[in-house]
């Protein structure tokens, strides 16, 4: 942020605006051109096709961190006395394996690796929330001004990908597409269609059953669509609220010594509690992914 005094509202808006690349709309100075938004209003006006560069960047960075350290542990794994890091990785693998065995009753070699990827990747993205809210935005602003000539307040950087609904919805719908794929693969078109139209209301009378079909379809279709939406919004809502609290606490540091001291205590307390939240949210997303895939493999 700028060295100039800004209002609390501007501070919050700056920290909650994504670094956006897209096409400037008609009626603006750069209409029809592609570029980075300089204000929150410009970012909003770019519409659906705009790219949140910071979300993409930190999603890829955290994914590469996961791949690097776990591949390193796999290459160095030995049957002898394990290192501390190998012990840590083996504990995670055993935890994931236990979770899959407890929730997934079918046989699919893809589910356990997927569950581990989901858990670790989401945990790392959530963990970015524990980095002080001004560090990376301040560094990105300095880089933008020094190397790219960006103006102050024009360099936005949201470092927690899971506070962007685009990221959480993307992950949730990826799981949803896998659920649909395995539902059709294991049950066939007729079996999956029957699952959506012949339950929960049933009758031995064909006429009555025919009347139940549209009612069953509406109920089951809503239940089906609710799965990815609930996955996405649960993760987004919890992480967004956590990030907002960190930002509000950070404002206290500019309100005098007493408020700054209180803010420091609150920040420490919330950070410790937030460790539980980021882990729990990753675990919930992983567990529901396993459960939904198990349902896709189950044949009534």
Distance set, CA 187 to CA 9, 64, 127, 171, 179 (Å): 53, 36, 39, 24, 12
Which residues, including other chains, have CB under 8 Å from residue 274's CB and lie 6 or more apart? 129, 130, 242, 246
Beta bridge partners of 51: 21
Q: How many CA atoms does the CB half-sphere of 182 hold within 13 Å?
A: 21
Cα–Cα nearest to 115, from 297, 299, 278, 292: 292
What is the SS3 assignment for 236? helix
Q: How many CB atoms lie under 10 A from the CB of residue 168?
A: 26
Query: Which residue is it, tokens 């602003």?
Result: 141
At 224, give phi and psi (nearest 5°): -65, -45
Which two three-digit tokens encode residue 154?
């024009």
Q: Is 87 a catalytic residue?
A: no
Q: Is 166 designated active site? A: no
Report how far residue 68's alpha carbon sits from residue 84's, in angstroms, rounded to the nearest whole number: 17
Residue 238 annotated among the catalytic residues of the structure: yes
Of residues 8, 230, 254, 298, which has the active-site annotation? 230
Show which residues are catalytic.
230, 234, 238
């Amino acid at each position: 942020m700028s060295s100039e005094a800004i209002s609390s509202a501007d501070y919050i808006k700056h920290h909650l605006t994504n670094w956006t690349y897209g096409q400037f709309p008609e009626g603006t100075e750069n209409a029809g051109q592609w570029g980075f938004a300089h204000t929150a209003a410009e970012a909003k006006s770019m519409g659906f096709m705009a790219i949140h560069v910071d979300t993409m960047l930190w999603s890829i960075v955290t994914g590469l961190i996961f791949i690097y350290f776990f591949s390193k542990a796999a290459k160095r794994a030995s049957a002898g006395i394990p290192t501390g890091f190998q012990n840590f990785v083996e504990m995670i693998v055993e935890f994931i394996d236990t979770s899959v065995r407890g929730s997934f009753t079918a046989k699919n070699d893809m589910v356990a690796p997927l569950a581990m990827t989901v858990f670790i990747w989401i945990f790392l993205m959530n963990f970015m929330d524990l980095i002080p809210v001004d560090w990376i935005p301040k560094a990105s602003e300095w880089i933008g001004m020094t190397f790219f000539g960006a103006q102050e307040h024009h360099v936005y950087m949201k470092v927690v990908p899971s506070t962007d609904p685009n990221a959480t919805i993307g992950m949730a719908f990826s799981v949803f597409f896998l659920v649909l794929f395995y539902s059709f693969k294991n049950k066939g078109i007729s079996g999956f269609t029957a699952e959506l139209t012949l339950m929960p209301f049933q009758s031995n009378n064909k006429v009555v059953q025919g009347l139940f079909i549209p009612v069953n379809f509406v109920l089951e279709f809503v239940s089906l669509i609710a799965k990815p939406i609930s996955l996405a919004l649960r993760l987004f809502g919890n992480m967004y609220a956590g990030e907002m609290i960190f930002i509000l606490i950070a404002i206290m540091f500019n309100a005098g010594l007493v408020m700054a001291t209180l803010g420091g205590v609150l920040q420490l307390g919330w950070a410790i509690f937030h460790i539980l939240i980021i882990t729990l949210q990753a675990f919930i997303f992983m567990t529901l992914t396993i459960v939904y895939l198990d349902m896709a493999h189950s044949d009534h």
